[in-house]
Amino acid sequence: MKKLSLPLLLFTLFSPSFARDSLTSTTSLLDGQTLVSTGGIFELGFFSPGNSPYRYLGIWYKKIPVQTIVWIANRASPLTDSTGVLTIRKDGNLVLLNSRAEVLWTTGSRVSASSNPIAQLLDSGNFVLTAEESSSPESFAWQSFDYPSDTLLPGMKLGWNLKTGLNRYISSWKSSDDPSPGSYSFRMDPHGSPELFLYRESTKIHASGPWNGLQFSGIPELKPDDFFRFSFISNKDEVYYTYEINKGSVVSRLAVTTSGLVQRFVWLDATRAWNVFWSDPKDQCDHYAACGPFGVCNSNQSPVCSCLEGFRPKSPQEWNLRDGSAGCVRITPSDCKGDGFVTLSNMKLPDTTSASVDESMSLNMCRESCLKNCSCRAYASANIGGGESGCIIWATDLIDIRHFVGGGQNLQVRLAASELAKMNSGRSSDDKKVVIVSVLIFSGLLLLGIGGCCMLNEKRRTTSSPSFSGRGPAAYLAKEHCSDDEIRASKELDLPFFDLEIILAATNSFAIESKVGEGGFGPVYQGKLNNGQDIAVKRLSEKSSQGPDEFKNEVMLIAKLQHRNLVRLLGCCIHRGERMLIYEYMHNGSLDTFIFDEGKRSLLSWQNRFVIILGIARGLLYLHQDSRFRIIHRDLKAGNVLLDREMNPKISDFGMARIFGDDQTHARTRKVVGTYGYMAPEYAMDGILSIKLDVFSFGVLVLEIISGKRNRGFYQSEQHSNLITHAWKLWKEGKSFELLDESLEDLHTSEVLRCIQVGLLCAQAQPGDRPMMSSVIMMLATENAALPEPKEPGFSTGEGSVDIKTCIHSANYLTATSVQAR
């Protein structure tokens, strides 16, 4: 270790002690000492990341056991030993010195010595330099929030101070051992309609889309909720994005990772770990300009790239090879005479850095302005919050366009009059929307459904095609049994197909002793593959309440889903009328066999039950927000939650699931399917579909897990014929603990009450009152979270309960609605 120089040694030895959260011109901070914010939330001191021998001055969370660095002073100038000193010099600068008294880092801003400068660590995580008599942000001579590292904390600004030219952005570490600025940065481009870009070095790799008054058009899931508020400020002085947390007990941060992801992390007390709450880029269409100029990316179709209407691939050969980077060109060049526009809905707006923006224009004025400018390619509203207003005009190529199932906004693309006439002669505007949706749905079903085994069996021809008896020899599906469309589609499906003989060998030819259950789909068999892997085989029964459509639906929806709380589909096998799905085997069976069994439910401790509740919530959040499709399960119940060897929950049975758009849009169905006792009232009675249907089912399931009682068939008294009503009564009377399963011991009181409250919040009668699953996870996993008071649950009149079956049968539209409940 190097020796301290004499001046620095004398300064260190005789420096007075310093205040708990701040430094003054008469104090200093040595390696081994720390500053702690007043509320004990953040800590500032010296640290070594990972296995690095170097020392850095940084800020981290004081109360979180996993040291998480949120800011570093000397990222590019590490200390080589433990002799660093942080001090305020006589000239008012805050500086970091090494053992030779060399300045490794400085604020570059100074406070007059006569003003008694103070460097203070605030509870927000902001480290500020200010005069003693000043404490407002406007008076800060310097603040760490203006110089982020890889993390954006609540209240920090991501963007520009246009008056001073200060650009606040976050950049990744080089590695877990090296916090110096890495290859990735996330920053605001203030030109045109400002938007956020993720860069690799100087190359754009992801764009947020412009702010449209509600959210960034390319991040439809970024919405305010019970826990977060998002703000975007753009004026002549500054342009920036920031966020705040509504619930003080939630700990969250936004960061750029070393692998090039922008992720929102939330600390969950229940798991004692950081959980990824949101992440971008998450799919192929999140990559910047994935489909080139005038190309549209849609991750729900294959191939993902298509051309805007009125355009064709610029390079058909590359396009056929799934390389859409060259983009598209006009079929008919514009002659600027009689041009018009085609409306594209649910779009991420193109890159706006070269676009012109006029916030004062109406949308009609915007259209006229575009028509008068022969260079104009497209226009859109700049602000869709509270109605469309403002104008964005593109006079350059349209790049980085994406289509969403839900979210995004309208984009008006300019086309030649002859091209518009050609389009209009083929179908009306409404017809076009129907065709687009139909093609997407059909292609999804085709790719992920019935064509599966055709490709497999095309390779294995024999002279006969024996019928499948269940114990006969391995059979195959000959090519002539598949349509050309199915054969082509099967080549796109990235899902393994099992030979029939493998399934027969694994299940001992579907021997009775291999059968482990029976569901709406049909019998389920346990098997073991040659490599020793245990599998579960769902075999579609001829008498099944689910048919080929449900089979195709399940394959389509779950084939691409990967989450620790969803049962993993390993593959399928199809032969003539036989359809089988092969899943990973869950050794502890379904949740209902535990919680509703007098002998087994005592095996589930409270900790087991809490982990199960939280795991189911995570699985639903993935389906609703983070998966490739936005999915409503529609049949969430205890029997459709399976438990692995460690009792971790996995949601199963996607035969009734539906792809869905934006959660603000409610669809209506004439075929109500699901299970009595778990169906939300608006769905059971009016066929209204939204993700809040699953939230209601989750609420019921939480109350069942806590009580060990079924919602349907629960009769505490004549006044309370279901579990929800009983739980609601106990809540109002302050007796919620009476709901608990009597076999439970070693309870975490606040955790139990929080779960009951969350269950009741999810089971509220009005869909709009029910929380989103993102908020549910926060409420469940955050200790001392301030939860809203629940309102009356569904199927409760206040004086008694209304049975769901009675509601359905009393509905006037029953003759037009098919009810399938199990």
- What whole-number distance in Å separates Cα of residue 340 and Cα of residue 419? 9
User: In 3-state terms, what secondary structure has residue 568?
Assistant: coil
Angle at 206 between CA 205 and CA 208, to 5 degrees: 160
Beta-bridged to residue 275, according to DSSP, are: 266
Please report, for residues 333, 344, 437, 440, the alpha-carbon distance to residue 433 in angstroms, rounded to integers and kept in the order given: 24, 9, 6, 11
Instruction: Give the closest residue to 698 by CA, choosing from 626, 777, 594.
Output: 777
Instruction: Give the closest residue to 475 by CA, choosing from 490, 458, 457.
Output: 457
- What whole-number distance in Å separates Cα of residue 104 and Cα of residue 87? 12
Instruction: Give the closest residue to 757 by CA, choosing from 773, 779, 774, 740.
Output: 779
User: In 3-state terms, what secondary structure has residue 780?
Assistant: helix
> Which stretches of 427-547 are DSSP H helices?
429-448, 452-458, 484-490, 500-506
Is 635 considered catalytic here? yes
* DSSP character string of 587-628: TT-BTHHHHT-TTTGGGS-HHHHHHHHHHHHHHHHIIIIISS
Question: CB-side exposure of 650: number of CA atoms within 13 Å?
Answer: 25
Beta-bridged to residue 668, according to DSSP, are: 688
Starting from the edge strand earliest in sequence, which strands make up the sheet with 28-30, in order?
28-30, 85-88, 93-97, 103-110
* φ and ψ of 161, to 5 deg: -95, 105
- What whole-number distance in Å separates Cα of residue 239 and Cα of residue 210? 12
- What whole-number distance in Å separates Cα of residue 410 and Cα of residue 347? 6
For helices 749-762 and 723-732, what crossing angle results, to 10°?
Answer: 120
DSSP state of 303: S
DSSP state of 673: E
Beta-bridged to residue 105, according to DSSP, are: 96
Exposure string of 653-666, with b = 16+ CB inside 10 Å and e = fewer, is bbbbbbbbbbbeeb
Phi-psi category of residue 649: left, alpha or beta, with phi > 0 → left and psi -120 to 50 → alpha: beta
Q: How many CB atoms lie within 10 A of CB 81?
A: 13
DSSP β-ladder status, 178-189 and 195-200: antiparallel
> Which stretches of 251-394 are DSSP H helices?
316-320, 363-372
- What whole-number distance in Å separates Cα of residue 359 and Cα of residue 235? 11
Catalytic residue selected from 146, 150, 351, 635: 635
Q: Which residues are catalytic?
A: 635
